[in-house]
Amino acid sequence: MQWILQQFEDTQKLAKALDQLGFRYSWHKLVPFVGELTPEPEVQDTQAVVMFGSYTLWRYAESRHLKPGVFRIRPFVHEEPWQAHMLNGPDALFLTIDEIATQLGADDRPWFIRPVSDSKEQAGAVRSSADILETARKVLSLGPDEIPDGSLRHDTLMMLTPPARILREWRIWIVNGHVVTYSLYKEGSRVTYRPDIDPDALEFAQSLARLNEGYAPAYVMDICRTVDGLRLLETNCINAAGFYAADLLKLATAIDGMSVT
């Protein structure tokens, strides 16, 4: 597998693992708004290339027909096998930015809000209705041609759910339906990165992967422990997700050994 990397702190960590494993890789910059890479990669086999960096690398991968390239994923909230296990899934509201401006009140009610797609326009966070409404109005004050690529747009679909009390949060890396590595990244309100996971949480993550085997060849799953039990928080594109305290030797080995179909 040929690895194409965009320069970030996390991809530097990945490069160290690739060095240890003897896997070839190269560094590139993504030209803003154009989508080209500099320097242009010398691709040996378009059917054996993987890219890590920003999510927008998928455009380059698809335009050059690189496989696996970037593992794009469907919005997890629409995945029926997982819906019973999602955090606040049944209570979620799905509104575009345009709809938020007309349907959300300017009050202090808290919401956890994030884009439905995995396109990274905005990180998930707990915000008040008034704050969310103000953001929506700022977006709507711009014309479609004035909004940069990768930013919230008038028709961006958002998911809003009531906040829940979360005790622990883990990131899980899944390749070919199997949990390859994992990392704790939050205990209560404290951010902490450790290569630890509770046994029942590991089994929960693996069971979710089995429930939805056709979701994607490789992806990241975030799960949490609440006062009511284990829940699925979200999924993310594996090529653009933070590594935290993952075992990158295991992850790189699993991805490098994938069969491309």
Q: For position 176, which CATH number holds?
A: 3.30.470.20
Contact 108, 128 (CB under 8 A): yes
> Is the residue at 75 inside a domain?
no
> Is the residue at 218 inside a domain?
yes
pLDDT band at 120 (very low <50, low <70, confident <90, very high): low
Q: Mark whether 141 and 200 lie in a shared domain.
A: no
Q: Residue 60 above 50 pLDDT?
A: yes
> Is the residue at 173 inside a domain?
yes
For the stretch 141-167, pLDDT in tens is 999 888 887 789 999 999 898 888 899
Q: Mark whether 129 and 172 lie in a shared domain.
A: no
Q: Which of 12, 39, 69 corresponds to the end of one domain?
A: 69
Q: Mark whether 141 and 172 lie in a shared domain.
A: no
Q: Mark whether 184 and 249 lie in a shared domain.
A: yes
Q: Mark whether 143 and 179 lie in a shared domain.
A: no
Phi, psi of 127 (to 5 degrees): -140, 155
> Is the residue at 80 inside a domain?
no
If one counts the domains in the chain, the total is: 3
Give the model's pLDDT for residue 134: 92
For the stretch 201-240, pLDDT in tens is 999 999 999 999 999 999 999 999 999 899 999 999 999 9
Q: How far is CA 2 from CA 29, 39, 63, 106, in A?
A: 16, 15, 17, 50
Give the model's pLDDT for residue 207: 98
> Is the residue at 148 inside a domain?
yes
Q: Residue 259 above 70 pLDDT?
A: no
Q: Mark whether 27 and 105 lie in a shared domain.
A: no
Q: Any idea what the CATH number is for the domain that residue 110 is in? A: 3.30.1490
> Is the residue at 17 inside a domain?
yes
> Is the residue at 57 inside a domain?
yes
Q: Mark whether 170 and 207 lie in a shared domain.
A: yes
Contact 1, 217 (CB under 8 A): no
pLDDT band at 251 (very low <50, low <70, confident <90, very high): very high
Q: Residue 33 above 80 pLDDT?
A: no
Contact 157, 96 (CB under 8 A): yes
Q: What is the pTM of this model?
A: 0.83
Q: How far is CA 120 from CA 52, 83, 93, 147, 154, in A?
A: 15, 22, 19, 15, 15
How far, in Å, CA of 229 to CA of 85, rounded?
A: 10
Contact 164, 232 (CB under 8 A): no
Q: Which of 98, 133, 161 corresponds to the end of one domain?
A: 161
Which residues, listed in sequence order, are joined to residue 181 by a DSSP beta bridge?
173
Neighbours of 69 (CB within 10 A): 22
Q: Mark whether 252 and 170 lie in a shared domain.
A: yes
Q: Mark whether 138 and 180 lie in a shared domain.
A: no
Find the mean pLDDT for residues 8-23.
Answer: 97
> Is the residue at 185 inside a domain?
yes
Domain that holds residue 183: 164-256
Q: Which of 139, 161, 183 corresponds to the end of one domain?
A: 161
Q: Mark whether 30 and 108 lie in a shared domain.
A: no
How far, in Å, CA of 185 to CA of 105, rounded?
A: 33
How far, in Å, CA of 195 to CA of 184, rounded?
A: 6
